[in-house]
């Protein structure tokens, strides 16, 4: 199948590209420089003319502070561009899978949220991604909006999990936020699910994340260190200081506190399995350690 991937240089896009190529798909992966997403007309022409049967959008401005620094650009890249892709797919008949985020959720109440949960983003990033979800589904009702969270598992683009293990290996002090919860998603799972959803008939919003109960970053860090110790990389599990979300100096923008997603639409209704969160963390740590030891 001919597959067009936007954002193929990103944390998720890199993994999707390599999985799709290994599966024998012909992959088209326009770079940021070739096709800046701010230029929606150029994007439409690409989708209309390239003959792709499936389009997956992994591109986004995903930094909260970056979106707040330029909300108009965030809107163009995270909402207008995906809508242009969706509309072009409507003309060509290509399947369209668009990645979104748990940060579209309001996050006030603790607990798992399914796809019917209220969306009330509290940041420019969340706002632009929610607008993208709505515009994509309006332009192409058969599109898939796959919400992911805490993307990890690409050693070339380390996430919080890999960075925690790296700090521990270097003997540095560790601290993690204990009053904010979600669930991690391995980029390899996102890639597998995106290809499956793109090949299927599901349309609408679906939560794509590990199975399990919500974890704080502090709990997630503790699981990662435990896995690193079990896998022989650390002599013992080092202590991790608990931080409060409001005390992290780098976070200028508000983060929703409780956005862990419930994934049974994916796993039960669509029959696409997702690993328990402990397995995700253990697997991501193993992959990172293998990459580090391979130099």
Ligand X SMILES: NC(=O)c1ccc[n+]([C@@H]2O[C@H](COP(=O)([O-])OP(=O)(O)OC[C@H]3O[C@@H](n4cnc5c(N)ncnc54)[C@H](OP(=O)(O)O)[C@@H]3O)[C@@H](O)[C@H]2O)c1
Cβ-contact 132, 79 below 8 angstroms: yes
Which residue in the shown chain puts its C-beta closest to ligand X?
A: 10
Binding to ligand X, residues 95-154 (CB under 6 A): 99, 101-102, 129, 148-151
Alpha-carbon distance values, 69 to 62, 63, 64 (Å)? 12, 10, 9
**Residue 61 within binding range of ligand X, rule CB under 6 A:** yes
Nearest-approach distance from CB 209 to ligand X, in angstroms: 9
Nearest-approach distance from CB 197 to ligand X, in angstroms: 14
Member of 2, 9, 245, 264 binding ligand X (CB under 6 A): 9
For ligand X, the closer CB: 83 or 233: 83
The CA distance from 191 to 274, in Å, is 12
Give just the sign of the alpha carbon dihedral 267, 271, 276, 282: negative
Nearest-approach distance from CB 101 to ligand X, in angstroms: 3
Nearest CA to 32 among 81, 92, 65? 81
Member of 54, 60, 88, 193 binding ligand X (CB under 6 A): 60
For ligand X, the closer CB: 150 or 238: 150
Residue 43 burial by Cβ neighbours in a 10 Å radius (0-12, 13-18, 19+): buried
Backbone angles phi, psi at 198, to 5 degrees: -65, -30
Nearest-approach distance from CB 12 to ligand X, in angstroms: 3
Nearest CA to 52 among 89, 104, 18? 89
Residue 222 burial by Cβ neighbours in a 10 Å radius (0-12, 13-18, 19+): buried
Contact characters 63-102, ligand X, x per CB under 6 A: --------------x---------------------x-xx
Nearest-approach distance from CB 219 to ligand X, in angstroms: 17
- Provide the binding-site residues for ligand X, judged by CB under 6 A: 7, 9-13, 32, 36-38, 58-62, 77, 99, 101-102, 129, 148-151, 157
């Amino acid at each position: 199948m001919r597959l067009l991937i936007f954002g193929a240089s990103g944390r998720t896009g890199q993994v999707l590209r390599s999985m799709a190529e290994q599966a024998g798909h012909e992959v088209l992966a326009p770079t940021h420089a070739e096709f800046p997403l701010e230029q929606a007309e150029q994007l439409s022409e690409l989708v209309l003319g390239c003959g792709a049967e499936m389009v997956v959008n992994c591109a986004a401005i995903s930094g909260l502070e970056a979106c707040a620094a330029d909300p108009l650009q965030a809107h163009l890249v995270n909402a207008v561009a995906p809508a242009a892709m969706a509309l072009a797919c409507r003309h060509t008949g290509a399947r369209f899978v668009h990645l979104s985020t748990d940060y579209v959720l309001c996050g006030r109440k603790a607990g798992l949220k399914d796809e019917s949960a209220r969306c009330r983003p509290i940041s420019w990033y969340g706002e632009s991604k929610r607008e993208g979800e709505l515009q994509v589904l309006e332009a192409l009702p058969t599109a898939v909006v796959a919400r992911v969270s805490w993307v990890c598992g690409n050693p070339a683009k380390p996430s919080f999990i890999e960075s925690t293990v790296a700090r521990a290996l270097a003997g540095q002090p560790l601290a993690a936020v204990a009053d904010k919860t979600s669930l991690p998603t391995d980029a390899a799972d996102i890639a597998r699910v995106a290809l499956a959803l793109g090949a299927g008939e599901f349309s609408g919003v679906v939560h794509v994340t590990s199975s399990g109960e919500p974890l704080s970053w502090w709990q997630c860090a503790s699981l990662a260190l435990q896995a690193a110790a079990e896998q022989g990389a650390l002599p013992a599990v080092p202590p991790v200081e608990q931080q409060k979300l409001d005390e992290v100096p780098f976070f200028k923008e508000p983060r929703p506190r409780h956005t862990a997603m419930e994934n049974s639409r994916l796993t039960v209704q669509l029959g696409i399995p997702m690993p328990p969160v402990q397995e995700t963390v253990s697997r991501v740590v193993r992959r990172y350690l293998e990459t580090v030891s391979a130099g």
